[in-house]
A and B are shown apart, each in its own frame.
Chain A
Amino acid sequence: MKDKPLVSLISAGLSKFGKLEGLYAREIFAEAAKEAYERCPKLDPKKDIKALYVGHMGESYEHQGHTGATMADWAGLLHIPATRTEAACASSGAALRTALQAVLSGLSDVVMVGGVEKMTHRSTADVTEYLAMASDFPFEQWQGMTFPGLYALMATAHMHEYGTTEKDMATVAVKNHYHGSLNPKAHMQKEITLETAMTSRVVAWPLKLYDCSLITDGASCLILTKPELASKFTDTPVHIVGSGQASDTIGLYERESLTSLAAAKLAAKQAYEMADMKPEDINIAEVHDCFTIAEIIAYEDLGFCKAGEGGKLAEEGETRLGGRIPVNTSGGLKSKGHPVGATGTAQAYEIFLQLTGQAERRQVKDAEIGLTHNVGGSGATATVHIYRRG
């Protein structure tokens, strides 16, 4: 394990996730920023925060682009450099990576990074179309493909190659809804049964409604600084000790494997090497469960189990609270919700709470090492970060 962290998290904020009627993205982002400021009373945001990076996927939702400057203004940080990053559902994972580079470069010693998306005011058909923009236009979207469809292609291939079942996938949904029922900020704080999940209506066979993450409004943010400055702001920092990011073909059909994400495996390898850690060292993880099959594949890509054994890992309860490696204690994208641009840093928010002992009813006892895995599109972008309690 490496002694010197890359950067330190000194605070974090998360808006309520859900159907936030009557609110604009900028107002939701301000709510997340306010929590981050309140959690860190020694921070003077206007004086200390030197830059903002914001993950945001789509200007179609609110007919609003230029999100970096907009969010800086509404977070009370007018005039600092503010930049939007876009990498589909990994937009704020990519923002975190960018913010980390800004601190490591020495250019900005305290940086805010976050993400936001306002989606629920649009029809399901509109959201389906906007999300599909993260896939290949001429050969996927134009042929009639959808996002659930792309993950369904992976699910069918995984079932065929490894014998993974629809029940394995439903098990992931039941687990994440249980975790979400313990999270007061989750979109759907409701437990579901295996039967509910398995008999829900088909979205893109073999994926059903309860295999899919939620269309959600929400925002998240983190405040990062150099490790040597962390003690100036807090006694309980969380350090980032590993970071990885990789890319792949935009079209799923061009990839060698349809049952794993090469970008996620590469990002994980980089992060583990940087942290000098192995998958066995991880106590908790927030993974990108945009669809239940994505969580099963994430277990395998991150090395929590062998290829093809992800369904079994879920079935055995190893990734449930109380298991060997609780995954998505926040409820994940499945139950907490998936405001796409906000997801990457919302995952880091959960790890921040867990590693500082503030996760209340879903607290994992003595959690010391956490991991986040954020995927864009069908896997053309992946970011992995590893965290250590300060």
Chain B
Amino acid sequence: MALIELDGIERIFTLGDSQVHALQSVSLRIEAGEYLSVMGPSGSGKSTLLNLLGLLDRPNAGHYRLEGRDVTTLDANEQAALRRERIGFVFQSFHLVPRLSAAENIALPLMLAGLPVAERHTRVAAALHDFGLEGRAGHRPDQLSGGQRQRVAIARATIMRPALLLADEPTGNLDRATGQEVTRLLEELNAGGVTLIVVTHDPAMGERAHRRIRMEDGRIVGDLRRGVPPAG
């Protein structure tokens, strides 16, 4: 069973009186544990595809099966539950809550899931350790460097041990060295079994993925795989 099956997905935005086809008959099959990059020019539908995969958006037509289950017809609460349990997001602009400390930001998904406080503490402590943030637990985002912020965001995205990690330009706001460090971190997570999908403009980063999707005008125009199957 594939982790993700997209079948004839259409996404149409209405801007004024003109209609924009953000996604046109997109079909895609992604196995668990894959490492995928999505590239393409601005407006090609990369972000729309990512939002759709992350259940933040709904298609106008087509079917999306996540772990074998058709999720296009789920209501808002069921989709929220899936995002909570199965999907992690990493954003270009980190999206940390400015008034909360690093530890509190990482604990947000655990709090939303209603986990007991004691378990939250152990999990957050472990995550802080894994991501090299031990000394930064009590710091607010504005007291952290860009790389540290993105590490907090990645720790938050993976704290619920999701099956799917969606990264939208994760290195877009970072310098080259920090960007490489974050990329390495994401790849380590992928090596640990998490399916990783990265949307990027950066060819260097895109080339690293085992499977590279190219998009133009809302269509998938290229789907290249490296010879070696992804490590599971």
Do the two shown chains form a genuine complex with each other? no
Residues of chain A having any CB pair with chain B under 8 Å: none
